[in-house]
Structures are given as C-alpha cells and as structure tokens.
Chain A
Amino acid sequence: MNIPMANLLSFSPGAPGTAPRLSDLRQKIERMERGAGTGVPAVLPLGIEAIDSHLPFRGLALKRLHEVAAAGEREAGAATGFLLSLVIRVMQVEPGPVLWCGRNPGLYAPALAAYGLDPARLILVRARTEVDRLWAFEEGLRTKGLAVAVAELEKPLDLAGSRRLQLAAEKGTTGFALRLDGGDAAASAVETRWRIASAPSLAPADDSQGVGDPRWQVTLERCRGGRPGHWLMEKNDATGDLSLAPALRDRPDLPAGARVAG
C-alpha cells in the first residue's frame, strides 16, 4: 500500500489508558486537516492490523459520518458494544463531550464507566421524532467542540440526507449513525457501514459455565474507497482491548463470507 506517511497517526494499539499526549495528537490532526482539500481525512487506526490494513487510509476516518447497524432486532446490545468501542477510541484523541441522540437512549452510565467511557463526557438528547433526531444530530456534527456525535436512528439514511450529514461532519465532529432495529440500509454517502451480530463467547478462564468476554461478528458492509470485509472480534472485558478473536476452540467455524442482515 502506498500511503504518504505524514498523513498517518502513529497510534500504538493498546489499553485505553495509554493515549498519547493530546497536544501532540491535535497538532498531527491539524497537520492532516490542512490536507483536507485533497480529500484525505484525518485517520485514527483501530489498532487491529487486519482491519486497519483493510481500510483505505489504514484506520477510521475522523470528522466523517459512519454507520453501525445491528444485524437484527435482537442485536441491539452487540451493536451498542461495538459502537461504544469505536466511540471510546475517538474520545481518546478528540477532546470535548459526546452527544448521543435517540428516542430515549437507554444508556446505563455505571456500565459505561466500567466499559471505559467516562459518563461525565456524555450529553444525552431525547427526541421523539426522527426529524428531531436528525436535526439534533446535524447540529451536533456541525459543532467543533464535540468529540463525537451519535444518533440512534429508526429509518435508513437516504442519499441526500447522508450527504448533508457527511458535509456537516467534515466541518465539525466525527459522527456515528446507530441502527438498532436490524433494518435494511439504503444507498447512502456514509464513510463506512458496519453490521454487528453477537457471537458465542468462549468459556471464561476458570472454565466455568459463566459468560466469557463479548465476541461480535463484524461485517464491513460498505467502505468508501475500500472493500467490504468480515471479522470475528473479541473485546477483553478486563483491559478494554479490541482484537480479532483467537482461533475457535470448541465451537463450529462460522460460515464463510459476510453475513448480511435480513
């Protein structure tokens, strides 16, 4: 891959606590933003080589619109978990609060704190109609002082709407549209669309019948300038690290190819 190295964040994959000094990162981001006219976004690697090398700029494009969708109405928990991992990652390099819009976001702060997201940085917005949610989302995307804007949406984003939000994000804040109902997606201008399903966990270290670390089947359904992909990922509950799941031990292998929601 032939990418100008000056456009990359050097971000060491590791535990959330090891974020580089913010001032350094901001400088780097600013340097990268000067290249925004060329269409190269500031990029945040996820710290997972297999996925970073798959993404067109070796990471998640900042100040762009992304979409995370549950692969079915029962997968709201998994989709939330994967999204939270991305949001926490962005929060490490972008200062400011996180705006989270939804009908009535049922986020549970004691669990978020344990997950690695500081609840003090959360601003929640309750909006009854999709129009209000989109309006609040767009207002958030335009705002420079936010770290991330998230909107729980109930309808697929259309082309015109997603373009508008994408434009807003380019001048302001990294955005994630979250679809929890497992519905279909329409053609849209989002930078990436991720489809998330749960995967059975492995037995915990003590080999009991207890619940192990969360695992997700992560499908990159759409990626501007890149190809779709599929990975089995695991989150280490103790360290907060996201990684590719180690080889399966006692479970049948997953069906080959991307699983797309129906």
Chain B
Amino acid sequence: MVALDRNATLLGLAPGESVADARARVPELHVATSDAVGDARALEALADWAQRYAPIVALDRQSATVSGNIGGDAGLWIDATGCAHLFGGEEAMGLDLRHRMEKLGFSARVAIAGTPGAAWALARYAEAAEGVIVAEPEAERAKLAGLSVAALRLPAVIVSALMRLGLKRIEDLAAAPRAPLVARFGEVLSRRLDQALGMVEEPFSPVRPAPAFRARLVFPDGIGNPEDLALAAHRLCERLSGPLDQAQKGVRKLELAAYRLDGEVGRITVGFGRAVRDPDRMYRLLRDRIEQIDPGPGVEVAILSALIAEPTIAVQTPLLADAREAGDDVAGLVDRLAGRLGETNVHALAPVDSHLPERAQKRRAPLTAAKKDVWRTARRRPQRLLDRPEPLQDTLALLPDHPPARFRWRGRTHRVVRADPAERIADEWWRERKPTRDYFRVEDEDGRRFWLRRDGLTEDGDTPSWSMHGLFA
C-alpha cells in the first residue's frame, strides 16, 4: 500500500503494509491501483495552477523518495512573500487556496509560516480547525515545539530511533545536546531542525524561475471572449511597462498565462528581437497569438511575466534618433515575422570554424551579429549550397582523378567543358573516418557552374560516388 486516506489511517492501517494483510483486518477496504507517473503529472499540473498565487512554486517530492510514489503526503511550496495582500491577507489567501483545491477535487491542508520546513511540519502535523494554519512569526516556535519529530522531514529510521530515545517532540530534540545526536544520526538531523526553526536558509528550487517583472489581473466571474482577453493583455502590457521603465529594462521574452475557472492554465510566449518596453509593441505580438488560449469555462486570473528582461540603451543625442527609429522598425519587423512564422524561421548566419563546407555556417538569432565575424573566404565556394547533396547519374570520368566529362543531374545531362583542380576536404580527425572527399568546380557547355562532390577514391578501394552540392553564380 502506497497511500491511505484519512479514514484508513484512523483504522490503524499504514503505508508499506501488504494489501492482503490490510484486507484481513478491514474486509471492506477500497483499493485502487497506484499510478506514480499520473500522480507526478497531477502534482506538476497543480504546481502550474498554483502560480496564480505567486510566481515561485516548488514541488515537495519528499514523500516520493521512500517508495518512488507520490502518496497522499504530496505537497507544494508557494513562496507567498509579498503576494498575500492581493488576497486580503495570509489567512484569506490560505482559505482561498484550500477552497479552490477542494473544488478541483483535492483535500488539502495549508500552513503559512516563515520557513519551508515549518510550513511543511505545520501543514502535516498541527491541528487546524479550517485546515488552514497561519503561524505568526512570534508564535511559530511555540507551534512547532509540540509537534512530533516526524514533522522534521527525517528518514523513518531516524524518527523511530529518536522515539525510542524518548525524543518524541521537536521541543525535546531542540533541548537535547546537539553533538552526540549529530554523531549518531548524521548532519541531516541538525539541518532539518535548523531549517524548521529558521536558523539556516533552505534552498528552494521553483518549478520555473521567478520573473523579474510581472503584472496580474483578476476577473472574479471569468472572461471568455477573445476581445476581453485582448483588452486584458493590453492592460497588462501597460502595467508591466511602468516598472520596466523605472528599471531601464526591456523584455526579450514575454509570457501570458491565463488561469481558468476549472484549474487549467493556458500560456502563450512571444519573443522580441531586441529588448522592448513599449506597451503597444508588446501587445501587438501577444494579440496575434491570443486565440491560441482556450478560455474554457472562463479565465479568472491573467498574469503577464517578463521571462527575459535586459537593460535597454537610452538614446542620448537627437542625431541617433533617426538611426534608432530605423532600427526599431527592423526590430519590429523581425518580431512580427517570428511571431507568424516561428522564431527559428527568422534567422541570421554565423560562421563556424570547420573544414566541412556544410558545417561552416550556422543559424543564429537575427540582430545579434557581432562585428567580429570572420568568414573563411580563401576557397571557391558556391553561392547556393544544396541542403543535401544530390546524387549524380551516368558520371563519366576520363581518368580516375579527373572530374567527370559529363553527368546527369535531375534528369538532364550536362557536358563538362571547364573544371578547376580538385579541392580535398580534410576530415576532422575527431570524427569517424569517412571516404576521402573532393570538390570540383565545373562549368558545362552553357556556362552553368556547379560544385561537384566526390566521395571515395578508387585507389583506396572505394567506388567513387558523385553528387551535386552547390550552384555557382
């Protein structure tokens, strides 16, 4: 048995027992097959949803470490710092959270405390009338003191050993001399205790990094039609631009998250070629994508986050204004193109230091060109390189080391009139050895120029194969 509900626990059953034993004691026990993957996914979805309360949400996978399953003890941490006032205080926020989770079909206990450790302990082990505990800073220690040492997120073996030693509650443990305990149970004991009491910081690994800039709108009754969503997006852009302006920053990547009444979350992300904070420019890109958000039964919270924000350069002289305006036009163009065609489909080219012609360039984001690009231009290269070399047929070479006197490509025969000497491409030695590769620039009887590639040499025991790899001007 992996997890038990409240009634089963009250009957004295415990995780880890076999189902047969449990059935022997409680014949009417209801058993469902556990689904570890499904549970993990559900917890992640819940973490996604919980970002409506605060941007930093972390998963508690603690209970999963024992059996590999996330049982009934699964939890979430929400860093509510500076967010509770949006809900009318910490208690109201806790009640709202609990109430909404109930509507989504989860029974939950909520604790709000000064440390992740204390919140974890209180949520699981403290008595709470409404299922919500708020530990005011001055009362936090007292509230923890009476809890079982099991509330410290310690391995089960340590908990049972502590119980045997008579150190049953946190206050017992806190009062006991530390050194011998650490010597016996390891550093984890001391760390968990200090984390719960707020003596040491606990690193927090959020599901997604917290955005530096964020704006939020609430629609108690939910909104559904696209115009309302667009209007909300526009207002959010305006709200976001103020703080950006103050910080002299602009966004490179924006995310609009729509939290639906049924707990689903729809997200759209847009990118910008250069940092922007003009609300209208942000909005124009969002508007083009807004129909990708399915409002379902209605959207009740919309949050706009700057996933990537960068400093912008202030314009100092009016002389630069013209150039900047033109640059802004181009940046806006790149954004619109990327918005409709996809970010990877609008790109610039960057040099790669490789002997292999097909590796000598790579795609990179536009408008990021460094002035220092160095292109190897010593060799003759075709202005158009074919994506994949196309095999040639009926190649006739007069001598083994010569270019073909004629070849057939895409169904037509070309007679070679002129040809440059072969250029041998040295293989990069760290790659797997390939047949020797030679290139010939040839010209046919009409003056068309092709870049022919030969793989393999007769003298190496290979049968040379010919292909078309590029077209010259």
Contacts and interface: CB of A to CB of B under 8 A. Distances in A.
Interface in A40-82: 74-78, 80-82
A201 B443 contact: yes
Contacts of A84: 383, 473
Given A77-B448, A80-B471, A215-B447, A200 B384 contact: no
A111 B383 contact: yes
A124 B348 CA distance: 6
13 contacts: A84-B473, A108-B383, A114-B381, A120-B371, A123-B330, A140-B333, A143-B329, A145-B330, A197-B446, A197-B447, A199-B447, A200-B445, A215-B447
A125 B380 CA distance: 26
A36 interface: no
Interface string B402-414: 0000000000100
B345 A211 contact: no
Interface string A172-209: 00000000000000000000000001111101000001
B420 interface: yes
Nearest to A83: B473
B359 to A, nearest CB: 11
Given A200-B417, A201-B418, A111 B382 contact: yes
Contact of B330 (A78, A82, A97, A120): A97
A25 interface: no
B373 interface: yes
B360 interface: yes
B7 interface: no
- In this complex, the interface size class of chain A, counting residues with CB under 8 Å from chain B, is 35 or more
A127 interface: yes
Contact of A77 (B329, B334, B363, B472): B472
A235 interface: yes
Contacts of A110: 351, 357, 360-361, 375-377, 381
A135 interface: yes
A112 B383 contact: yes
A122 interface: yes
Interface stretch (A2-10, A99-107, A160-168, A218-226): A99-107
B11 interface: no
> Which of B336, B420, B443 counts the most chain A CB atoms within 10 A?
B443
Interface of A: 74-78, 80-82, 84, 95-97, 99, 104, 106-115, 119-127, 132, 135-136, 139-140, 143-146, 197-201, 203, 209-212, 214-215, 235
Is chain A's binding surface mostly helix, strand, loop or mixed? Answer: mixed
Given A80-B384, A111-B383, A200-B417, A120 B377 contact: no
B64 interface: no
B327 interface: yes
A95 B322 CA distance: 12
Given A96-B330, A201-B418, A211-B441, 19 more contacts: A77-B450, A77-B472, A77-B473, A84-B383, A84-B473, A106-B384, A107-B349, A108-B382, A115-B473, A123-B346, A125-B341, A136-B340, A139-B337, A140-B333, A145-B333, A146-B330, A198-B446, A200-B443, A201-B447
A125 B337 contact: yes
A181 B369 CA distance: 32
Nearest to A114: B377
Nearest to B363: A124
Contacts of B442: 211
Nearest to A81: B473
B295 to A, nearest CB: 28
B419 A209 contact: yes
Interface in B351-407: 351, 357, 360-361, 363, 366-367, 369-371, 373, 375-377, 380-387
A106 B387 CA distance: 7
Nearest to A97: B330
Given A143-B330, A198-B449, A209 B418 contact: yes
Nearest to A82: B473
Contact of A106 (B333, B340, B385): B385
B470 interface: yes
Nearest to B334: A123
Contact of A145 (B329, B375, B471): B329
Interface residues of B, number: 60
B455 to A, nearest CB: 19
B421 interface: yes
A78 B420 CA distance: 18
B420 A211 contact: yes
B347 interface: yes
Nearest to B417: A200
B385 A108 contact: yes
A106 B386 contact: yes
Given A108-B383, A123-B366, A198-B448, A139 B336 contact: yes
B327 A145 contact: yes
B179 interface: no
Nearest to A121: B369
Closest 7 CB pairs of A and B: A81-B473, A145-B326, A77-B471, A198-B447, A111-B381, A113-B375, A114-B377
Contact of B375 (A80, A107, A109, A199): A109
Interface string B296-330: 00000000000000000000000000010111111
Contacts of B373: 119-120
Contact of A108 (B337, B340, B381): B381
A120 B471 contact: no
A112 B350 CA distance: 12
A74 B381 contact: no
A234 to B, nearest CB: 11
A81 B383 contact: yes
